[in-house]
Structure 1
Amino acid sequence: MPIVKHPRATEPLWHEWDRKAQKCGLRHTAYAVNGDQYTGEWLDNLKHGKGTQVWKCTGAIYSGDWKFGKRDGYGSYSIPDPVTKEYKKVYTGWWKNDKKCGYGVTFYPDGERYEGEWSSGLRSGWGRMYYQDGSIYEGQWLEDRPSGQGMLRLLISRLVISSAKQLGGTSTTFTAHHMHDCALSADCKVTLDQWLIQMKSALASRGNSFH
């Protein structure tokens, strides 16, 4: 009786190659076609877990949490200084869907700093902004602008202000040596006269006066 041999079903080689190419779990550095590189954890071929991304075109680095290919969780973002080439931290805090979201700290190139809440990459919620001139705004923000209740602290050190309006035939000037608090409106915009009135009140409450 003849023996019939059935050909064994063979899996295409590309199936095996595809399985080997799938990234899942902790992997060594993976390089993209454009030169970007990522070292860390993967899930179903997506960055997921802890990892560090380096962008070749800018040299920027993100190190922190990822979810399904996007920055999500806690992490820090840094860029290289164009002169010294040393890395400077730009943002440290929470992310969601590849954008700043939750509490975080941003460092600006001119030395200014923001500490507070973010939403969809914009300052939103309660936060404190440190400005280059030494003044500090602390209060509510909405879509990257002061909005709602807040306090602006103006640092005045031997600063002389001349009013644009002549009061009593002479210009109004003053000298102070302290930090004073001024409650501001929603958009944090104050005219010079309004600012002088607020400062006069603040100085008077501390026993100082215009002269």
Structure 2
Amino acid sequence: MTTQETIKYNDGGIYSGATVNGIRNGFGKYFYPNGTRYEGQWRAGEKCGFGTVFYSNGSQYNGDWENDIKHGQGVFSLSNGTKLVGSWKKGKRHGLCEWIFPNGNKSVSTHVYGQEV
């Protein structure tokens, strides 16, 4: 049965959201001790589905997750306004990626498991 909980972890992290048997499952927010936070879907205690990470340095990632890593389509926004629109596979950029810079310029690149080709 799904319940709403707030759980404090020994490392200082805090989770607030849906759980099943005390495990993150469904929509929830996780606050990391370093100031980073994740808001989105969880399955069996891992980020899975759509979610957003707000990094403590001002950057953020909005996109798909699987097994606690970026996997699928997403947008990574740097704190300076630069955006990377593309896809990830097993946590690495994979496929066509488009950089969009604050001045409007764009650059396109192709990646295979994080390596530009």
Post-superposition CA distance 1:14-53 (Å, at most 9, x none): xxxxxxxxxxxxxxxxxxxxxxxxxxxxxxxxxxxxxxxx
Asked if structure 2 preserves the Cα contact closer than 8 Å seen for 1:91 and 1:105, the reply is: yes
TM-score of the aligned structures, taking structure 1 as reference length = 0.42
Confirm or deny that 1:97 pairs with 2:27. no
Which structure's CA Rg is the greater one? Answer: 1
User: Partners of 2:23 and 2:10 in 1: how far apart?
Assistant: 20
- Matching of residues 1-211 of structure 1 within 5 Å: 72-79=2-9, 90-156=14-80, 179-187=81-89, 189=92, 198=99, 201-205=100-104
| 1:96-143 Cα distance to aligned partner (Å, 9 max, x none) | 133100000000011100000000000000000011221100011001
**Normalization by structure 2: what TM-score?**
0.73
> Following TM superposition, where does structure 1 have runs of at least 4 consecutive aligned residues deviating by more than 3 angstroms?
187-190
Supply the distance in 1 between the matched residues of 2:57 and 2:76 (Cα, whole angstroms).
12
C-alpha change, 1:96 and 1:185, in structure 2 (3 Å) is: same
The share of aligned pairs that are identical, in percent, is 31
For the residues of structure 2 that align with 1:79 and 1:147, how far apart are their CA atoms?
A: 26
Letter in 2 for 1:180: T
> Which secondary structure does the structure 2 equivalent of 1:155 belong to?
coil
Aligned to 1:37: none
The answer on whether the counterparts of 2:76 and 2:85 sit within 8 Å (CA) in structure 1 is yes
Which of the two has greater helix per residue? 1
8 Å CA contact 1:100, 1:119 repeated in 2: yes
Give, in angstroms, the shift of residue 89 of structure 1.
6.6
User: SS of the counterpart of 2:88?
Assistant: coil
Structure with greater strand share of residues: 2
